[in-house]
Structure 1
Amino acid sequence: MNFPFEKFIKTLPASIADNYKPVVWIYSKTDVRVAFSYIITHLKRTYITYQYTSLESTDVDRLKLDQLLYTTFLGSSHLYSIMCVGDKGSHELLQERLNKYSGPHCIVIYSTDPLNLSDAMTDNIQYIEIPEFIDFNGCVDLLPVICSNKEHQKNAHYIATQLFKRSKKWPLETICALAYYAPLFDINSPSAVAMANYFAQLYGFQHSLFLLSQQFFSGKIPLFLSLWKEHSQIYPEQFWISFWSDQIWRAFFYLNYLKQGQHTQAKKIAFRLPFSFIERDWRLWDHIALQKLHTQLYQLDSKAKQGATYMALETLLLDGLLSIV
């Protein structure tokens, strides 16, 4: 049975301390590592009875995992957080070793793969699914987690109020970005409303860029063209050439690193790529097609200085999509 994310966030750290289970498994369909890092930071700040160690799933093999789980120093408990993003092998190992784990440590897992939770596992595993989008009430509950300073919480709340006037729900990662801006914001400034609206416009467009890239790499031509028509005129052609060059370049090296078995390097280069590409859509592409597309973008960059049009860029992207259909 899932533990509601809203209740989990609202009652941290009591949601772990009072409903103690040695394993907290946090799952999200999309990559929300920033949100997870804030949850862990909040736990470290408010739940100080534990020592803390952060790990990547690629650093933990069967032997090391067993050593971590069952070794204590003078009987003291430890808080371990393990990040498991797009790593099915480690996901299966963690599920196998933790499904009957009873302590003495607290293990917090973040995984992009769901947990097959049987009735026998519910006694020791607290399973939380993080939503991709949250509403205003969820945002208010999240603010103490991402902002430890009370004044910063007030600033973030003010920005969020303007943000949710534009849309009833926002991506969780956008809400986490409030933590970056809150220390710089002054709700008593004459320009406070303008700055809050600027944030809403900026991150609203960033989310649109994410969706645009997602539809492109998924090969969904009608959806991509619809979004492209809506957003292509917002920024100049030079911006779009730079944006797509970066996306294609990262996708090219992501594929190469995966084929070479360099999963750590693949994770690093995957930053800013849509999660759907990292998880599954990379299989639609080959590195030769991506290399060709990046070369064409480089050539278009030169032509743009001589008066190339959006239609040239649109045609280039469409040709790239048709190559995988």
Structure 2
Amino acid sequence: MNLKQLIEAPEKYIKNSFMIGFAGTSYPLLFLKKIRDYIQLQCGLKMLYIDMQDAELAQIRAQLEMSFLGHQNIYWLGDLSTLSLKNYMQWMTYLSNYKGPHSILFFTTKEFSDKNMKLISLPEQIDYIFFKDLLSLWSPEDRERLRYTAELIFKKVGVLSLDHVMQMVEYAQVLGSARSSFLNDWLTSIIKPESSLFNLSGALFAGDKRSFLKQWRQLQKDYEFPFWMSYFSEQFFRAYYYISCKKNNNHIEARKIGFRLPFSFLQKDWKKWEQSIFQDAHQRIVDIDFNLKNGGSEIMLEQVFLLFYT
């Protein structure tokens, strides 16, 4: 099950599923609130919230297992990964065996796989194509304005976190004719520059020489050389093991190691490469670090990039 399926048919999944978990590397507060509001509106069910920090399992089992005149509610348990390990395991065991009558939603940053639960993986970053699948979250009269503004923003930043998308929507609904000047003057102050780094490595891992070199010239001086060494070292390391996990159908571990890798690479570009190229690139970073301490040149880093577009 994925996010697009839930948005397209919330009643189908909520009313026929007792357990849906959202999983991600961090808790997207604004986005999950929007999802909850949308589900409640579309399904016409009451949504109740349980404070998991103060809740004892034994105290609320009766609430979750009892229904007044057969009425179904939706319970939101929040971020279960904030619980102690003992409490987390107790809750996951209980939820795995829960048979209704209500629907329960929760979020976690911890990895799990359970055939009795539907799991929706939330991406760390999304692009414009993914955003278009989210448009149904808003009213029909808002969608065209959001689509137009989103297209402009994504052209500038490439990818956004889910909560940045929620911020973007708030601005899009009030900008009006000032949209273009606002985006030119203020966008980079609102959206963290990390998205530019995702675009940079995304272009490199796509083998797009022209796009990569253009972005590299723009960003190169924004960070000190040690940052770039650390950044690309981590990117190559994660990419190597991500490909390994994907080839072995180890999707849970792939999602773990894929954190901070560019969205396009996670979706499709990983298929373009053999693992060995990232192993080679990572080793060259190690060699450059050694050589720099012995009189080497920083220009050697750009020779590493040649692996991906020659």
TM-score range, shorter chain: 0.5 to 0.7
Aligned-partner Cα distance in 2 for 1:198–1:157 = 20
Picking from 38, 58, 81, the partner of 2:34 is 38
The one-letter amino acid paired with 1:196 is: L
1:114 is aligned to 111
Q: Secondary structure at the match of 1:97?
A: helix
Cα shift at 1:152: 3.0
**Cα distance change, pair 197–65 in 1 and its aligned pair in 2 (3 A):** farther
Picking from 171, 176, 182, the partner of 1:195 is 182
Counting matched residue pairs gives 204
Q: For the aligned residues, what is the CA RMSD?
A: 3.0
Contact 2:14 2:103 in 1 (8 A): no
Q: Secondary structure at the match of 2:34?
A: helix
Cα shift at 1:163: 1.2
1:67 is aligned to 62
2:161 is aligned to 171
2:131 is aligned to 139
Cα shift at 1:98: 1.0
1:5 is aligned to 3
User: Superposition pairs for residues 76-95 of structure 1, below 5 Å?
Assistant: 76-84=71-79, 85-89=81-85, 90-95=87-92
Cα shift at 1:97: 0.6
Q: Secondary structure at the match of 1:134?
A: coil
Q: TM-score scaled by structure 1?
A: 0.55
1:184 is aligned to 174
Cα shift at 1:229: 7.0
Q: Secondary structure at the match of 1:66?
A: helix
Give the 4+ runs in structure 1 shifted more than 6 A. none
Aligned-partner Cα distance in 2 for 1:229–1:82 = 45
Q: Which runs of 5+ in 2 are unaligned?
A: 199-218, 225-258, 261-310
The one-letter amino acid paired with 2:146 is: A
Aligned-partner Cα distance in 2 for 1:76–1:109 = 20
Cα shift at 1:29: 1.1
Cα shift at 1:192: 2.5
Aligned-partner Cα distance in 2 for 1:229–1:86 = 39
The one-letter amino acid paired with 1:140 is: K
2:209 is aligned to none
Q: Which runs of 5+ in 1 are unaligned?
A: 212-226, 233-274, 277-325
**Cα distance change, pair 35–228 in 1 and its aligned pair in 2 (3 A):** farther
1:28 is aligned to 24
Cα shift at 1:31: 2.1
**Cα distance change, pair 83–206 in 1 and its aligned pair in 2 (3 A):** farther
Cα shift at 1:82: 0.9
Aligned-partner Cα distance in 2 for 1:197–1:157 = 18
Contact 1:163 1:197 in 2 (8 A): no
Identity %: 19
Q: Secondary structure at the match of 1:195?
A: helix
The one-letter amino acid paired with 2:19 is: V
Q: Secondary structure at the match of 1:133?
A: coil
Q: TM-score scaled by structure 2?
A: 0.58
Cα shift at 1:197: 3.7
**Cα distance change, pair 185–92 in 1 and its aligned pair in 2 (3 A):** same
User: Superposition pairs for residues 121-160 of structure 1, below 5 Å?
Assistant: 122=115, 124-145=116-137, 147=138, 149-160=139-150
